[in-house]
Chain A
């Protein structure tokens, strides 16, 4: 498989075209908007917590296939997860897209997110893949806006 096919795997294309959990979440108790000033990508993440657990999560915004698919898959993956689990997942995901060494247990945790493994060959696209995650973290930390700078 060519590198570009590795990057644009079917699941990524599919999620970018039909993003899951897309749209505003009414009654969200946490929300933040992330920008990538380099390319104009914009992602808003809405979260409703139940104690320490992500009860509901939605997103809206516009951007490239990588950033949209990443936001879509992130919301799928972090629903019903505790804040600690969500944070750990971001760290593993970050390692994956920046070409870090993953332990077996970490790879197992990635699940569908493993589809972003091709990003590591495209350093300029790492920010596209991590924008939604940075925004989620900002939302949970109570920061309203975040940029990838």
Chain B
């Protein structure tokens, strides 16, 4: 067996077809060192981008530069390195502000990831406001991280969790959603793009419906931010959460965007250094935004790496990348449809990045193991969305998820791998 990680320059052998929309994925691939790996003797075909995305060299360089030349704490030191680190840290915040189209950098809070962002809102926005008899409204396609924090909040407050249903294609039933918006609804929490189904939710419409009833909306953007241009002011969402590692940035860093009016009202989530202005044993005054929500030494390298990822994405052009990914997903969908016994889970009209499927009579884990032997990385399992699996009456699915560095040749490799799975089980 060739050891995992053997570098190779080998490329899929088929000649490159004209890239859709003039987008040159082959050139993009050069920016990602890991894509040259061989796995199990085969060129890596990385189709697990919804779990985490690979990192371009510029992100790796930014991490290295921080640790090699300016490793210091931020917002504290008077010395040169601390000033450099603080400047780069805060520049990243400005980059993220632009990336999201937020009005002010004080609305950009650095957190560990989407999960922590949602927990922060449940804790600091939810707990002080939500009372017994109130309702939190989510949808049937949420990731566990956009279900469990609300369940806990409901348990603690005596509120009810309401769940808007989806249809057999995995699309939110907007009429049903609207009916569930009641005078008791305190918050709507909805994914922008479903990680298990790939459905793109009509979040602008959802937000408008909720706002007409003065209900604030949190958008879980973990799967959307890397694949669609997002503008929080145009959406008018109250909160938007995403993870750096799915956006080609480092793990352990993410962002909560919140409207300043809410963030100002909310009590801190965690307490400690950096989030205070003054402390005596009698009374503590909190720091201003965004620092009120960034207790302790933050993930400085992660923030700087995320800034580099955001820069990279703006150079690539997210709109162009999204158009390319859409064509790639359409191509993969069309090819998978032609395989007898393959059933696609998630057939919404508006989809991004995700192709979830099952093969009749073959468990997704067996599909995953056999594809892995072909160097093809997919996810097999419940995708942290067990209610979605229940809804479609499958124990699990295999999921191929795409990024703009994936190619039609890799889709061909996936299809060939699926044919091999079927052959082994024939």
- Determine the residue in chain B with the shortest Cβ distance to A10: B424
- With beta carbons under 8 angstroms apart, the residue of B361, B365, B373, B424 that contacts A39 is B365
Q: Which residues of B contact A125 (CB under 8 A)?
A: 365, 369
Q: How far is the CB of A10 from chain B (nearest CB, A)?
A: 10
Whether A2 touches B369, Cβ cut-off 8 Å, given contacts A17-B361, A40-B396, is: no
Contact with A along B159-173 (1 / 0, CB 8 A): 000000000000000
Interchain CB contact under 8 A, B395 and A40: yes
Q: A66 near B: Cβ within 8 Å?
A: yes
Do B365 and A13 have beta carbons less than 8 Å apart? no
Neighbouring A residues of B362 by C-beta, 8 Å:
65
Residue of A13, A17, A40 ringed by the most chain B CB atoms within 10 A:
A40
Q: How far is the CB of B42 from chain A (nearest CB, A)?
A: 12
**Within the complex, what minimum Cβ distance (angstroms) separates A3 from chain B?**
6
Question: Which residues of the partner chain A approach B395 to less than 8 Å between Cβ atoms?
Answer: 40-41, 62-63
A8 and B396 CA atoms in complex are apart in Å by 20
Interface hits, B384-426 → A, CB 8 Å: 386, 389, 395-396, 424-425
- List residues of A (16-70) whose CB comes within 8 Å of B's CBs: 17, 38-41, 62-66, 68
Judge whether B381 is part of the interface by a CB distance below 8 angstroms: yes
The answer to whether A7 has its CB under 8 Å from any CB of chain B is yes
The contact of B425 among A2, A63, A65, A122, by CB within 8 Å, is A65
Report the separation of the CA atoms of residues A52 and B134 in the bound assembly, to the nearest whole angstrom: 58
Residues on the B chain within 8 Å of A41, using CB: 395
A4 to B424, CA, bound (A): 9
Which residues of chain A come closer than 8 Å to B373, judged between CB atoms?
2-4
> What A residues does B381 contact at CB under 8 A?
38-40
Check A8 against B365 for contact (C-beta < 8 Å): no
Q: Are A13 and B425 in contact (CB under 8 A)?
A: yes
B363 to chain A, nearest CB (A): 4
Residue of B363, B382, B396, B424 touching A5 (CB-CB under 8 A): B424
**Residue from the list B361, B364, B370 in contact with A8, Cβ < 8 A:** B370
Least CB separation from B426: chain A residue:
A13
Query: In the complex, which residue of chain A has the Cβ closest to the Cβ of B425?
Result: A13
B366→A3 contact, CB < 8 A: no
Interface size on A, residues (CB 8 A): 22
Roughly how many angstroms separate A20 CA and B395 CA in the complex, as a whole number?
21
- CB-based contact B369/A39 at 8 Å: no
**A4-B370, A4-B373, A40-B395 as given contacts; A64 in contact with B363, CB under 8 Å:** yes
**Residues of the A chain whose Cβ atoms lie less than 8 Å from the Cβ of B369:** 4, 7, 122, 124-125
Closest to A37 in B: B382
Nearest-neighbor residue (CB-CB) of A122 within chain B: B369
Does residue B279 face the partner (Cβ distance < 8 Å to A)? no
Q: Assuming the A-B contacts A64-B365, A65-B362, A125-B369, are A8 and B424 also in contact, with contact meaning beta carbons closer than 8 angstroms in the complex?
A: yes
A39 near B370 with CB under 8 A, answer: no
Q: In the complex the two chains form, is A65's CB within 8 Å of B370's CB?
A: no
Q: Which residue of B lies closest to A40 (CB)?
A: B395
Known: A40-B395, A40-B396. A65 touches B382 (CB 8 A): no
Does B78 sit at the interface, judged by CB under 8 A?
Answer: no
The residue among A4, A62, A68 with the most chain B CB atoms within 10 A of its own CB is A4
- Indicate if the CB atoms of A63 and B424 lie closer than 8 Å: no
Contacts of A2 in B (CB 8 A): 373
A8 to B365, CA, bound (A): 12
In angstroms, Cα B364 to Cα A62, docked, is: 12
User: CA of A3 to CA of B373 in the docked complex: distance in angstroms?
Assistant: 8
- Measured between beta carbons, the chain A residues less than 8 angstroms from B396 are 39-40
Q: How far is the CA of A95 from the CA of B366 in the complex (A)?
A: 22
Give Cα distance in the complex from A3 to B363, angstroms: 19
Nearest residue, chain B, Cβ from A63: B363
A140 at the interface (CB under 8 A from B): no
- Compute how far the CA of A62 lies from the CA of B369 in the bound complex, rounded to whole angstroms: 18
Residues of A within 8 A of B382 (CB): 40
- Contact call B1/A65, Cβ cutoff below 8 A: no
B422 → chain A, closest Cβ, in Å? 12
A128 contacts chain B at the CB level, 8 A cutoff: yes
List, in ascending order, chain A residues with CB within 8 A of B424's CB.
4-5, 8, 13
**Cβ contact within 8 Å between A128 and B365:** yes
Q: Shortest beta-carbon distance, A139 to chain B, in Å?
A: 22
Q: Mark B315-339, 1 if CB is under 8 A from A, else 0.
A: 0000000000000000000000000
A85 to chain B, nearest CB (A): 30
Chain A residues 62-98 with CB under 8 Å of chain B are 62-66, 68
Least CB distance, A23 to chain B, in whole angstroms: 18
Contact between chains at B361 and A64 (CB < 8 Å):
no
Residues in chain B within 8 A of chain A (CB atoms) = 1, 361-366, 369-370, 373, 380-382, 386, 389, 395-396, 424-425
Given contacts A4-B373, A40-B395, 9 further A-B contacts (CB under 8 A): A7-B369, A8-B425, A40-B386, A63-B363, A63-B395, A64-B364, A65-B362, A66-B366, A124-B369
A sample of 10 cross-chain residue pairs with beta-carbon separation below 8 angstroms, ordered by A number, consists of: A4-B370, A7-B369, A13-B425, A39-B396, A40-B381, A40-B395, A64-B364, A65-B363, A66-B365, A122-B369
Q: Please name the 5 residue pairs, one residue from A and one from B, whose CB atoms are nearest each other, closest first.
A: A64-B363, A64-B365, A4-B373, A65-B366, A40-B395
Interface of A with B (CB < 8 Å)? Answer: 2-5, 7-8, 13, 17, 38-41, 62-66, 68, 122, 124-125, 128
